[in-house]
Amino acid sequence: MDITTSTLQLNTPDGKMETYEARPKDGGARPAIVVLMEAFGLNSHIKDVTERIAREGYVAIAPDLYHRESERVVPYSELQKAMGIMNRLQDPKVMGDVGAAISHLKSQNYVKAGSIGITGFCMGGRYTYLSAAHHNKDVKAAVCFYGGGIPMGNPSPLDRTKEIQCPITLFFGAKDPLIPQEHVEKIVKALTDAKKNFTHKVYPEAGHGFFCNERQSYHADSAKDAWENFKSFFAQHLK
């Protein structure tokens, strides 16, 4: 599917937020998916994922959650620097950023009303879970890729599980050193206890970042399976 891409400047209480948008060229109202970045920023990988989603027939939009920072993209080789920037993020402000992206989508005639989903990777996976709770009137489906720290924070995203209204699916790697299996078990228990509509999959051979083909941790078979699940999940709930 032919797509068109653009870089937008969305308004937030802390100034303009650069946002990457990709959408089908053919016009007409399409469902939309917000794409939340890894700790390394709104880089070429996240833009590529945004374009891949658009080619499946969605309006896809990736906000730069580091728009308050002077350095907004960090190489994969500099994990500690990325973690330092990530740790300066504040959940309420990020939820405002996600809200700005959702508001933009809701105001566009090329977005199908009431059909907005969200996905994210690593740090963005945690914020996807939180967004499903915080923006529960707007988010109709959510997919978390190796969302680290979902049980962490005060309150944590996990503490807000009862607020989630949409179906949600979560992907993890069994060999992920950043997400202990006890965290996965806590998330599954919280969603089960709250009787939420959820699925999850733990890939036995995958580590952290297994979906990113620009990282050493890329695991092709797990990434391919997760992508097929991703496509069928959003097709079911947004299309």
Catalytic site residues? Answer: 122, 176, 208
Give the amino acid at 28: G
3-state secondary structure the chain: CCEEEEEEEEEECCEEEEEEEEEECCCCCEEEEEEECCCCECCHHHHHHHHHHHHCCCEEEEECCCCCCCCCECCCCCHHHHHHHHCCCCHHHHHHHHHHHHHHHHCCCCEEEEEEEEEEECHHHHHHHHHHHHCCCCEEEEEEECCCCCCCCCCCHHHHHHHCCCCEEEEEECCCCCCCHHHHHHHHHHHHHCCCCEEEEEECCCCCCCCCCCCCCCCHHHHHHHHHHHHHHHHHHHC
